[in-house]
Structure 1
Amino acid sequence: MSTEAVPAVLPAGSLSGKRALITGSSRGIGADTAKYLAAAGAKVAINYRNKEARALKLIADIEAAGGEAIALGGDLTDQTSVAAMFDTVRAQWGGLDILVLNASGGMEGGMAQDYAMQLNRDAQVGALNAALPLLHDGSRIVFVTSHQAHFFHTVPTMPEYEKVAQSKRAGEDALRARIPELDAQGIGFVVVSGDMIEGTITATLLDRARPGAIDARREEAGRLYSVSEFAAEVAHAAVDPLPADRIRYVGDVSAFLSYSTHR
């Protein structure tokens, strides 16, 4: 996305006074989501694990466009680090209106055998628990996932992605189990599920592991969303009315639904 011209995905000023934290937001979908929310007037907390320079560059871009943002370093698999991150939000802002659980992974090399489950399930629940004291009636939580993960229980996925899909579905299930508790507090929860997204690290790694995977899915689906297009959907999910089934699909799902129905 061009830093000089951020598209008006949400009306200017519509999020004035709101405070948002986006996990894994120093690049990609998270970064573009941060720009959209900031352009609508929200204060945005940029979470990163180890790319501080990239996070600071994003903040500079947001501020140059008239927005407000802070950088929060924090490894989501380390609960001490997560607690410190939300303590900073409490100290600086007093609370939180929007929490976007965007960070995910599991295809990286050199990580622990159970890293995907640590990050995609355990860390998501940990982040929710740490954020709850800052959330309030009217707050919104958005969990970002993929069709391959969301439909994991009913539709086979590529072996190279299976560990990630399984762990992200486990994360979604664990968070969905909290919906009654969240509803009772007036905190909205929604899942945004996307098809393969052009330009993401996951799509790149999958195409590297299985050459032609992106082209094949693009042909099957008709089109694939770009990072900025998908981020726009995530931004809308943070403010749009909650779907009854708490799921916002981005991109074609016909093949997934058809397989689920006829298996």
Structure 2
Amino acid sequence: MSERQMVGDSTERRIVLITGASRGIGAETAKVLAAGGDHVIINYREKRKRAQTIADEIGAAGGSASIAGADIADADATAAMIAEVVAEFGRLDVLVLNASGGLERDAAPDYATALNRDAQVRLVREALPHLPSGGRIVFVTSHQAHFHGRKPVPADYEPIAASKRAGEDALRAMIPELTEHGIGLNVVSGDMIDGTIIVRLLERRNPEAVSARRDHGALPTIEEFAAVVGEAASAASESGRTFYVGGQDYLTDGLGRDIPA
């Protein structure tokens, strides 16, 4: 099976690119959106076989999917991926910015910022000329990042939280420009998501940080979070809306008052 599968009549489906979608939240989001009738493009960095398995599962369930390999921290690879998507489908309707990182032990000191801020903005810049009016961009983040500076953050997660908050801020600064093009930006922020690689890495480094979150209640599942990402990818809401998943204690100031997004 070729890396790029036939979509059928692509004019009847939205074309959705999901970064970091060969596992976890990205893979589950691909299944959610494909089940709703979208053609999903599963971006992966290294795990081509795993990405293809997700695409095959979607196809077997009656959906439409293809895969696209690129390290989004690599500017040339990002540009090439967008060019390939446009060459095949003629447009891109939805961009889901799911890929993130920085907890890897061998990561360079500036890797978190390069991936969680710079790469996100660069990908939006590459995609923007090809997003039609009515298109959507969804930025996937965590409560620890979204509320960075207002709520405590586990020490091991601090570089990721700070860099993802910087990425969110940079994207929000683009809202006036996106609005001129008719493009909406939505943010999905969640508590630690059970079963994700981030939680598994944190449990190895700082198990108390994860157990402290569990003390507040059951962590959201990957399926629950992906369902909200799918909602955000279609919601006709004012640009800049934040969708929250779990972690009710993050959403109040301790006195029962809501914390602004």
Q: Same fold (TM over 0.5)?
A: yes
Q: CA RMSD in A?
A: 1.8
Distance in 1 (CA, whole Å) between partners of 2:202 and 2:78 is 29
CA distance 1:86–1:245, change in 2 (3 Å): closer
User: What do residues 45-81 of structure 1 show as CA deviations (whole Å, max 9, x unaligned)?
Assistant: 1000000010111111011111111110001111100
Distance in 1 (CA, whole Å) between partners of 2:241 and 2:251 is 18
Which amino acid is 1:120 matched to? N
The answer to whether structure 1 residue 193 and structure 2 residue 189 are counterparts is yes
How many residues of Structure 1 are paired with residues of Structure 2 in the alignment? 247
Distance in 2 (CA, whole Å) between partners of 1:244 and 1:64 is 35
The answer to whether structure 1 residue 53 and structure 2 residue 49 are counterparts is yes
Distance in 1 (CA, whole Å) between partners of 2:249 and 2:152 is 15
Instruction: Trace 1:19-168 onto structure 2 (pairs within 5 A).
Output: 19-168=15-164
State the Cα distance separating 1:133 from its structure 2 match.
1.2
Taking structure 2 as the reference length, the TM-score comes to: 0.90
The answer to whether structure 1 residue 211 and structure 2 residue 211 are counterparts is no
Distance in 2 (CA, whole Å) between partners of 1:259 and 1:146 is 19
The answer to whether structure 1 residue 258 and structure 2 residue 248 are counterparts is no
**Is the CA contact (8 Å cut-off) linking 1:147 and 1:253 kept in structure 2?**
no
Could you list the runs of 5+ residues in structure 1 that have no partner in the other structure? 1-14
State the Cα distance separating 1:115 from its structure 2 match.
0.2
- Alignment identity in percent? 53
Distance in 1 (CA, whole Å) between partners of 2:250 and 2:25 is 24
**Is the CA contact (8 Å cut-off) linking 1:16 and 1:40 kept in structure 2?**
no
Distance in 1 (CA, whole Å) between partners of 2:166 and 2:20 is 19
| Residue of structure 1 in register with 2:8 after alignment | none
Could you list the runs of 5+ residues in structure 2 that have no partner in the other structure? 1-10
Which amino acid is 2:98 matched to? N
**Is the CA contact (8 Å cut-off) linking 1:155 and 1:256 kept in structure 2?**
no
1:105 counterpart SS class: coil
**Is the CA contact (8 Å cut-off) linking 2:175 and 2:239 kept in structure 1?**
no
2:252 counterpart SS class: helix
User: What do residues 73-120 of structure 1 show as CA deviations (whole Å, max 9, x unaligned)?
Assistant: 001111100011001110110001111000000000212110000000
Segment drifting more, 203-212 vs 140-149: 203-212
Instruction: Trace 1:236-255 onto structure 2 (pairs within 5 A).
Output: 236-243=231-238, 246-255=241-250
CA distance 1:245–1:123, change in 2 (3 Å): closer
1:258 counterpart SS class: coil
Distance in 2 (CA, whole Å) between partners of 1:112 and 1:209 is 18
Distance in 2 (CA, whole Å) between partners of 1:118 and 1:244 is 25
2:215 counterpart SS class: helix
State the Cα distance separating 1:241 from its structure 2 match.
2.8
Distance in 1 (CA, whole Å) between partners of 2:67 and 2:240 is 33
| Residue of structure 2 in register with 1:226 after alignment | 221
Distance in 2 (CA, whole Å) between partners of 1:216 and 1:119 is 27
Which amino acid is 2:210 matched to? I
**Is the CA contact (8 Å cut-off) linking 2:20 and 2:98 kept in structure 1?**
yes
Distance in 1 (CA, whole Å) between partners of 2:236 and 2:244 is 14
State the Cα distance separating 1:163 from its structure 2 match.
0.3
